[in-house]
Amino acid sequence: MRRAGRRSLRFPRPSVAAAVLVLMSLLQAVPARAAKMFSLSLDDVANGRAEVVDLSHDLRDGMPLYPGGIPFTLEPLTQIADGYYMNSFVSGEHTGTHVDAPAHFGKGLPAVDEIPPTRLVSQGILIDVQSKVGSNSDYILTLVDLLAWEKANGRIPPRTLVILNTGWHQRWENPDRYLNKDEAGALHFPGFSAEAARLLLKERDVNGIGIDTASVDPGKSVTFDVHKVMLQGGRYQVENLDNLNLLPVRGFSVIVAPMKISRGSGAPARVLAIVPR
């Protein structure tokens, strides 16, 4: 049954096998150069030189949800006693670990099914700001901070996914702490600044940005300037990431596999990192 104001998705719950099939379809679509890079990473995994880290939260009832979002619900259809086990589910496009497509903030811009597969397989960059967030829930990654990170760690190359580790993923099991609302209902959590996002878009040509909070914009933002910079610039972003403490500063690969919803403004996603041991 379609619920008013909701996008109802009626599919069996995704399995690991389904995620593998999605990743295989991505690999078939990328050019030889990117495929070669990725196959080497898989070889490293097979030979114990690298491991796969899941950067996604489980989709389940009771997850933190950005105000106005559609909660995830799972409804059983059959049990093993019926011959096989199967469920249906209802979810918003921007529920759980998910991708925001350019169409989310611009008419006529690419929907989630139109994001080029080559942009979904990236080298990863991790900017760890946990020490700054500890004393300031409203911390914003400024342009100065970004340039200081590059001075210490090297210039960010093109076609990367730049991930901000705020430590907020460790609050996921407590939705109230994760959204961190004040008495007036305003949210308080860290994010990117529009100036930093603009540099990443225009001067570093990144594939996208990611974060372990409910929004790439800081929680207190009401203008969503980072969304406008990145999405109207034709890039995507990933929100509500997990396990970021398991990533190095650089030298890892990231596979972003959103559900391919036709004309979708975004979609829940499985996000995997291939990390050297």
Residue 192 CA to residue 108 CA, distance in Å, equals 25
Residue 212 CA to residue 162 CA, distance in Å, equals 12
Confidence at residue 44, expressed as pLDDT on a 0 to 100 scale: 85
Domain residue limits, the chain: 32-58+93-276
**Fold held by 32-58+93-276:** Glucose Oxidase; domain 1 (3.50.30)
Other CB atoms within a 10 A radius of the CB of residue 99 amount to 27
Confidence at residue 6, expressed as pLDDT on a 0 to 100 scale: 41
Residue 31 CA to residue 190 CA, distance in Å, equals 36
Confidence at residue 25, expressed as pLDDT on a 0 to 100 scale: 52
What's the average pLDDT block by block, 10 residues per block, for the chain (277 residues)? Answer: 42 47 48 44 85 97 96 97 98 98 97 98 97 96 98 97 98 98 97 98 98 98 98 98 97 97 98 95
Confidence at residue 7, expressed as pLDDT on a 0 to 100 scale: 42
Confidence at residue 43, expressed as pLDDT on a 0 to 100 scale: 82
